Amino acid sequence: MKNIKQYHYKKVLVLGLAKSGVVAASLLHHLGAFVTVNDFKPFEENPDAQGLLEQGIKVICGSHPVELLDEGFELIVKNPGIPYSNPIIQGAVEMGLPIITEVELAYQIAEADIIGITGTNGKTTTTTLIYEILRAANKQPLIAGNIGTVASEVAQIATSANTMVVELSSFQLMGINSFRPHIAVLTNLYEAHLDYHGSWDEYAQAKINITKNQTADDYLIVNADQEVLLNLAKTSQAQIIPFSTTRYLENGASIKDGKLWFSQEEIIDVSEIALPGEHNLENILAATVAAKLKGVENSEIVSILSTFTGVRHRTQFVAEFNDRRFYNDSKATNILAASSALKAFKEPTILLAGGLDRGNEFDDLIPSLSNVKALVLFGQTAEKLEKIGKKAGIQTIIHVDNVEEAVPTAYELSTRGDVILLSPACASWDQYKTFEVRGDIFIEAVHKLEESK
């Protein structure tokens, strides 16, 4: 970790805790800053705040008082989930105070090169693939960001021998000043998080921030099948390396004659790739480019691509018994993600879906339901999903109370050769705290069923 001096005696407000706020506050305290933490959760219910107070850090809990801005802070480190409409943030913007997220701190202290991955879909799969390939090649990668350990925590242990592989959200990328990954990846860009960003332009600008500080010594890996990304990439000073699933690229990564190529070099036959789904080819191509830029041998790339079956909760293979295959795609919290999962399978599919009702309809899901033979529905959106199931001509539609009940119900509806897929197309919060909890319950129910058969 670099022993930077720029925070000595600087007054810093850390707004919002959770994992990133706790790490940022502790790090800044270590770096010599005068840190104040403000979190909405009451102090007596807030073990994170209690722990920071024990370190000697000033803690204010229970509300976000705008009067805090009168204390002369020189910097705000904002939890990514706190919107810019927050009154403290609005006031700070009017005062011209710099506002960053903890990934900026991670970059400032990191001795390691950084590979940063963002995009609307595929971030986690791409990040994990890059990490696994680099690990197989003994490149000493460290994985961080949205995928798990906070980036500024990982940066504290990273050395120049490591490579930090960091998944980045648009929320995090809005709060960077100098952050500069040596390799940046933009998987794709679709309309998302507009409730936070307010407009498509702001969302797109947040994503392209990943390359704003890159130079000609750096690389931007970009999806060439999206014109919007190619246009955004024109603002980058980095070397652009494209990938495409629809056309052959002599310079870049692409698919031709059923094989994956990188710059006119054959890497692997697509039939040997273990991860299912056309949408995952984008992630695989992007990860392959990143690996090649890090000097990984083809054999090491092939060893991972031929065995990697998915990230937990993202079209994750769970089990196969009695000639039925079960997949957990609990991360599919929107229509686009569920559609991508459904398109990954040619077999007859029983879809488990439903969850939080955000007010949207589901007609855009209909084209992806052609292989779905039955729907097992739960949660607030069950009625809406039944309507689009009927429009799609699905004859068998069953309502259940929850995911645990959905698994044996789906099995009873299935026959040999079927896929049973949890891909809810909705957030989990009507019944489950997180999509991870929902997915774990699905996995447990599958294994319980397997033991009984």
Residues present in the chain in total: 453
Question: What is the distance between the alpha carbons of residues 167 and 185, in angstroms, rounded to a whole number?
Answer: 10
- What φ, ψ does residue 399 adopt, rounded to 5°? -100, 135
| Mean pLDDT, residues 173-177 | 95
Quick one: 214 and 291 in the same domain?
A: yes
Portion of the chain with pLDDT greater than 90, in percent: 87
pLDDT digits (tens, 9 = 90+) for 407-430: 999 999 999 999 999 999 999 999
pLDDT digits (tens, 9 = 90+) for 6-58: 999 999 999 999 889 999 999 999 999 999 999 999 999 999 999 999 999 99
Per-residue pLDDT at 113 exceeds 80: yes
Beta-carbon contacts of residue 123 (< 8 Å; ≥ 6 apart) = 117, 146, 147, 167, 168, 169, 187
Find how far residue 221's CA is from the centre of its chain: 17
Question: What is the distance between the alpha carbons of residues 424 and 174, in angstroms, rounded to a whole number?
Answer: 29
Residue that is last in its domain, among 247, 273, 305:
305
For the record, the structure tokens of 6 come out as 């720029």
- Per-residue confidence at 200, pLDDT binned at 50, 70, 90? confident
Q: pLDDT averaged over the chain?
A: 94
Per-residue pLDDT at 248 exceeds 90: yes
Q: Is residue 402 part of a domain?
A: yes
**How many domains does the chain contain in total?**
3
> What are 376's strand-pairing partners?
352, 398
pLDDT digits (tens, 9 = 90+) for 434-446: 999 999 999 999 9
Residue 233 sits in a domain whose CATH number is: 3.40.1190.10
Question: What is the distance between the alpha carbons of residues 275 and 268, in angstroms, rounded to a whole number?
Answer: 13
| Mean pLDDT, residues 89-113 | 97
Q: Is residue 252 part of a domain?
A: yes
Quick one: 342 and 378 in the same domain?
A: yes
- Residue 121, marked binder: yes
Quick one: 23 and 144 in the same domain?
A: no
Quick one: 155 and 264 in the same domain?
A: yes
- Per-residue confidence at 145, pLDDT binned at 50, 70, 90? confident
pLDDT digits (tens, 9 = 90+) for 355-379: 999 888 999 999 999 999 999 999 9
Quick one: 383 and 344 in the same domain?
A: yes
Q: Is residue 310 part of a domain?
A: no
Residue 63 sits in a domain whose CATH number is: 3.40.50.720
Quick one: 326 and 297 in the same domain?
A: no
- Residue 159, marked binder: no
Quick one: 162 and 296 in the same domain?
A: yes
Residue 357 sits in a domain whose CATH number is: 3.90.190.20
Quick one: 385 and 262 in the same domain?
A: no
Strand 259-262: give its sheet, edge to edge: 141-145, 163-167, 113-118, 183-186, 219-223, 239-244, 253-256, 259-262, 265-269
Question: What is the distance between the alpha carbons of residues 306 and 421, in angstroms, rounded to a whole number?
Answer: 22
Amino acid occupying residue 235: T
- Residue 163, marked binder: no
Beta-carbon contacts of residue 416 (< 8 Å; ≥ 6 apart) = 322, 323, 324
Q: Is residue 216 part of a domain?
A: yes
Lowest mean pLDDT among 89-98, 102-111, 223-232, 275-284: 275-284
Q: Which domain holds residue 423?
A: 316-452
Q: Is residue 323 part of a domain?
A: yes
Residue that is last in its domain, among 100, 117, 135:
100
Strand 75-78: give its sheet, edge to edge: 58-61, 34-39, 11-15, 75-78, 99-100
Quick one: 44 and 122 in the same domain?
A: no
Quick one: 301 and 349 in the same domain?
A: no
- Per-residue confidence at 194, pLDDT binned at 50, 70, 90? low
Beta-carbon contacts of residue 287 (< 8 Å; ≥ 6 apart) = 126, 129, 130, 133
pTM: 0.79
Question: What is the distance between the alpha carbons of residues 40 and 61, in angstroms, rounded to a whole number?
Answer: 6
Per-residue pLDDT at 123 exceeds 70: yes
Q: Is residue 61 part of a domain?
A: yes
pLDDT given at position 199? 86
| Mean pLDDT, residues 322-347 | 92
Secondary structure string (H, E, C) spanning the chain: CCCCCCCCCCEEEEECCHHHHHHHHHHHHHCCCEEEEEECCCHHHCHHHHHHHHCCCEEEECCCCHHHHHHCCCEEEECCCCCCCCHHHHHHHHHCCCEECHHHHHHHHCCCEEEEEECCCCHHHHHHHHHHHHHHCCCCEEEEECCCCCHHHHCCCCCCCCEEEEECCHHHHCCCCCCCCCEEEECCCCCCCHHHHCCHHHHHHHHHHHHCCCCCCCEEEEECCCHHHHHHHCCCCCEEEEEECCCCCCCCEEEECCEEEECCEEEEEHHHCCCCCHHHHHHHHHHHHHHHHCCCCHHHHHHHHCCCCCECCECEEEEEECCEEEEECCCCCCHHHHHHHHHCCCCCEEEEECCCCCCCCCHHHHHHHCCEEEEEECCCCHHHHHHHHHHCCCCEEEECCCHHHHHHHHHHHCCCCCEEEECCCCCCCCCCCCHHHHHHHHHHHHHHHHHHC
Residue that is last in its domain, among 77, 100, 123:
100
- Residue 36, marked binder: no
Q: Is residue 418 part of a domain?
A: yes
pLDDT given at position 146? 75
- Residue 125, marked binder: yes
Quick one: 136 and 212 in the same domain?
A: yes
Q: Is residue 68 part of a domain?
A: yes
Per-residue pLDDT at 238 exceeds 80: yes
Quick one: 121 and 214 in the same domain?
A: yes
